[in-house]
Structures are given as C-alpha cells and as structure tokens.
Structure 1
Amino acid sequence: MTARIYQRPKNAMQSGKALMDQWILEFAPAEAKQPDPLMGWAGSGDMQQQVQLHFASQDEAQAYAARYGIPAVVHATPPRRLKIQAYADNFR
C-alpha cells in the first residue's frame, strides 16, 4: 500500500493557477484492472485507487503518511520555464 505525494499541475487549457498550491496523496494500484465480461468496462477490487487526499503543504501530506504508516514517495514539482516573446515574433 504505497502512496505518492505530488503537487497538482497547472491546467494547460486555462491560464488560471487555482488549486496549484494543493498537495495530493494518492495510493498506488494494488492490482491490475481487468475488463468486465458483461460490459467490457475496466475495473478492479482495489478501492484505494479511488482515494485522493488533499493537503495545503507537502509537510502535512508527509506527516499524514508517517502517522498512519503509509510508505510514500514525494514527486518534486519541476521548475516552470517561461517562454517570453513578443506578439510580433509570430510573424518572423
């Protein structure tokens, strides 16, 4: 029952930065998904795949994992690289 802790990435389809400061703890899948024979949908009996816990900081998420004995891996947020250019550069 391992978990991963990461910061929510910015939505590429919108310019806003809402909810980017949240840290998420989610559990790794314990078993592979299998197709349902009747409907063909993919599913599994692992209920922890559906759990996502939201925290205000990375320290809070790590403290929660340590308190409940959950081995967690922290995925660092990659640095943002801005490409600053003028509108006129589109026509060069």
Structure 2
Amino acid sequence: MAARAAVEEDGDIAPPDADGTVIDRVDDSLSEAVRPPTARLGEGGCDCEETALSDFDRSWRRRAFGATAVLKNEDPFKLSQLKEAPIKSLDDLLSTQEKHEGLITVDKKVDLSTTTGVPEEHIKTRMVRIWKPAKHAMQSGTYNTHKWKIEFDTRERWENPLMGWASSGDPLSNIQLSFSNKEDAVAFCEKNGWDYSVTEVVSKQPRPKSYGANFAWDKKTRTSTK
C-alpha cells in the first residue's frame, strides 16, 4: 500500500503510518501541493480515490502557477533595455580623493632629525651600513635573503666581569631594521640625518658541474687527495 503524505506543523518528520511506512518531509508535501490531484489504488487494487486539497494547498498552487505565468509573459524587449550596474575599477574604490586630502607633498628632502628627539651625538657621529644578507655556506634556499637591512657602526665596549660579556653604552649597537628595497633604506637614513654607505649585491652565477668531474682522471680537473 502506498504511503500517505502527512506532515507535522513544526516541519519535522511525522511518525510512521500504521503500516510502518515513513512519512515524507515538508518540502515533498509542498512540492506535491502544486501538482494536480492524483489518483492512487486502494487496498483492493480496484477502487480509486482522489487526494483532497486543502485551502492552503490551493492557494499555494495558485501562487506557483501565477509566478510561472509572469515569467513566461515577460517582454524580452524590456529585458534587453535594462542597464546593468557600471563596472568600477579597483583604483577608484581604494584610492579615493577623500583618502588623500590630508597628505602633504614636499618636493625636497625632509630632515626629521630635529624632531625625532634623538641626541645629537647619535645623529652626526653615526655611520649606517645598508646591505642585503647573502646565503651562508650551509644554506641551499633563499630564505632571509630578500630584505635590505641597516646596521650602525660599533662603538666602544668593555668586558663585563659579572657575566663575562662585553657591555656597551651605545643604545643603537644591536639594532637592525629591514626594508623591502634599497631606496627605502636610503630614504630612511636621509630623513634621520645619518651618514650611510651602501654595500651592493654581488651576483655570482654558479657554474654547472657534474659530480663525476671530481673523480676525473684528467690532471686539469681532478682533485688531489695528498
């Protein structure tokens, strides 16, 4: 015997019928509500009865059919005349004029050494080295070699008998600053009034060499073990 569709009010699965069949969910009942009445066989297999539709089922079916009719009768000419939203570039959204109204543009270089509060002895007498770290002997990758760094010159030190370390009265002795490129590091030193020197990167192209070349019999290429 076919299972009858019955749904509880709270939307959960209803208890099973007397014959033990499980009842359908709310979505299945609503989808069946918009369909025309269907006939099913009774227990004897000969008598037929139509499913009765409630007032809610009839109103739901009218709404579904009405919405479908509106979509079908829509004028395609009017749809073609509808204008889409204008496409704006990312620069117009991120770089707005209101965002840059408070910026002040200066043509010449700015010296901030008089306003930073750094003592004069750590401005005029300091030498800054701008460099880019290279790979060490045990390194095969390129980690920690993409940033430019600045470091200050070494001042006087003395041995500390308490710990056996070397102490210094220089507040800038162990400071390292990282920059994405060399130009930013140079501009930072010029703004603070420091003298600087730039250590350029020496690019060395590795020569391809096979492992078997270390054991070649040729006197020009073989490595002596004595």
User: Shared fold (TM-score greater than 0.5)?
Assistant: yes
User: Equivalent of 2:196, from 41, 50, 72?
Assistant: 72
Give the AA of the match of 1:91.
F
* Counterpart for residue 43 of structure 1: 167
Aligned pairs, number: 91
C-alpha separation in 1, matches of 2:161 and 2:215: 55
Judging by fraction of residues, say which structure has more helix. Answer: 2
Give the AA of the match of 1:87.
Y
The list of structure 1 runs, each at least 4 consecutive aligned residues, that deviate by more than 3 angstroms after superposition, is none
1:19 is paired with a residue whose SS is: coil
Post-superposition Cα deviations, 1:24-56, rounded to whole Å, max 9, x if no partner, equal 011112x22211133321121112011100000
Instruction: Map 1:53-72 onto structure 2 (within 5 A).
Output: 53-72=177-196
TM-superposed deviation, 1:83:
2.9
- Alignment pair present for 1:16 and 2:141: yes
* Counterpart for residue 131 of structure 2: 6
Pairwise CA RMSD of aligned residues? Answer: 1.3
Post-superposition Cα deviations, 1:40-82, rounded to whole Å, max 9, x if no partner, equal 2112111201110000000010010011111110011122141
Instruction: Map 1:22-41 onto structure 2 (within 5 A).
Output: 22-29=147-154, 31-41=155-165
Identity of aligned residues (%): 33
C-alpha separation in 2, matches of 1:54 and 1:45: 23
Segments of 5+ residues of structure 1 without an aligned counterpart are: none
Judging by fraction of residues, say which structure has more strand. Answer: 1
TM-superposed deviation, 1:88:
1.1
Rg (Cα) greater in structure: 2
1:42 is paired with a residue whose SS is: strand
Give the AA of the match of 2:170.
D
75 and 37 in structure 1: CA distance in 2 versus 1, 3 angstrom threshold:
same
C-alpha separation in 2, matches of 1:54 and 1:82: 27
Give the AA of the match of 1:82.
P
Give the AA of the match of 1:88.
G
2:134 is paired with a residue whose SS is: coil
Taking structure 2 as the reference length, the TM-score comes to 0.38
Segments of 5+ residues of structure 2 without an aligned counterpart are: 1-125, 217-226
Taking structure 1 as the reference length, the TM-score comes to 0.89
